[in-house]
Amino acid sequence: MPARQSARQQRPANREANRDPARAGTRGSSGNGAGPLMTWSVTFVVIAVAVIAAAFVTSRFSAGSSSSGSPVPPTVVTPANIPSNDRTLGNPDAPVTIDLYGDFRCSACFVFATEGTETEVVDNYIATGKAKLVWHDLLSIDSIDGSTASRDAANAAWCAADQGQFWVMHDWLYANQSPTEDASAFTEARLSAIGKAAGLDMSQFQPCLDQGTHDAAIAAEAASTPAQATGTPSVFVNGKFVTGPTANSWPGYAQIKAAIDAALASPASSASPASSASAAPSASPSAHPS
């Protein structure tokens, strides 16, 4: 899983510091005879961006997104007026199906879910009935660090789905994710506290969490991940792979929008390849590479 591993190894502060403004400044000062003032300006911008990014990471930790303290309420919330069924969000008869492969520990998934892309997809296509969004668990970080925190978080979300609250838990899990993807953010005790804070019926949720009720189903789904989904987040539209993470970026709205618009314009767009949250978008899935 080279693309996902490379992206995961970058710390959030470094990732923020290497975004386009800093990269553009570095190019401008390299090999073109730029003077000391230009070099100093570029250095200042890079340092300033790094400091701001580090403050963002620190604020996420101090807000309670680690393994201690009270769970943090989500600031980005899936609209409650959109119909949902299990892990499918939107009109079940929508002409376009968007399959999203994610990991609740994945920091790139956090960016995807909370910094515009998923929100725009939901606002422009899911809420309007043009498409439905189907979540699939891809336990990419567990497969690297040998923990079960990604699986345990996925089980917590499935337990919430048993109460019709998957997307509520989706929002709460991302709000309380460790920005360094540390497993300690999703211990069973922490997941229990998150479920309680999210307003779940704990008489149902706690036994489901304790017993790992959905672990086997989650593992089976992860094992049937399409070959193109080599990292998280990965997106398919009507069964066709659109985009996934690379070493320095993650799926963007423009790519997904173009794929959805093309599917809507196609006469075959009504043929939805994933009618339920357990369906994989590929007719010939392969085991997820370790």
User: Tens of pLDDT along 123-143?
Assistant: 999 999 999 999 999 999 998
Mean per-residue pLDDT for 220-229? 90
Give the pLDDT confidence score for residue 247 in this predicted structure: 55
Alpha-carbon gap, residue 259 to 255, rounded angstroms:
6
Tokens of 56: 């963002």
Query: Which residues lie across from 137 on neighbouring strands?
Result: 102
Predicted confidence band at 268 (pLDDT cuts at 50, 70, 90)? low
Q: Which among 116, 125, 120 is positioned nearest to 89, based on CA atoms?
A: 125
For tokens 């043929």, name the residue. 271
For the chain, percent of residues with pLDDT exceeding 70: 67
Mean per-residue pLDDT for 57-68? 44
Mean per-residue pLDDT for 74-102? 96
Helix (H) or strand (E) holding 235: strand 234-237
19 pLDDT higher than 60: no
Query: Which residues lie across from 98 on neighbouring strands?
Result: 133, 237
Tokens of 38: 């230009």
Tokens of 98: 């968007």
| 3-state SS, residue 236 | strand
Mean per-residue pLDDT for 63-74? 70
**138 or 34, which is more confident?**
138
Fold of 84-270: Glutaredoxin (3.40.30)
Give the pLDDT confidence score for residue 44 in this predicted structure: 40
Query: What mean pLDDT, rounded, does the chain reach?
Result: 77
Give the pLDDT confidence score for residue 18 in this predicted structure: 34
Beta pairing, strands 131-137 & 88-89:
antiparallel
Give the pLDDT confidence score for residue 51 in this predicted structure: 37
Mean per-residue pLDDT for 3-23? 37
Give the pLDDT confidence score for residue 205 in this predicted structure: 98
Is residue 90 a contact partner of residue 83, using CB atoms and an 8 Å limit?
Answer: yes
215 pLDDT higher than 70: yes
Within 8 A by CB and 6+ apart from 125, the residues are 96, 98, 131, 260
DSSP state for residue 185 in the 8-state scheme: G
165 pLDDT higher than 60: yes
Give residue-wise pLDDT tens across range 35-57. Answer: 444 334 433 433 433 333 343 44
Give the pLDDT confidence score for residue 145 in this predicted structure: 93
For tokens 């066709």, name the residue. 240
Tokens of 177: 């994710």
User: Number of helices and strands (H, E) in the chain?
Assistant: 13, 6
Sheet holding 88-89, edge to edge: 84-85, 88-89, 131-137, 96-102, 234-237, 240-243
**What residue spans in the chain does CATH classification 3.40.30.10 cover?**
84-270
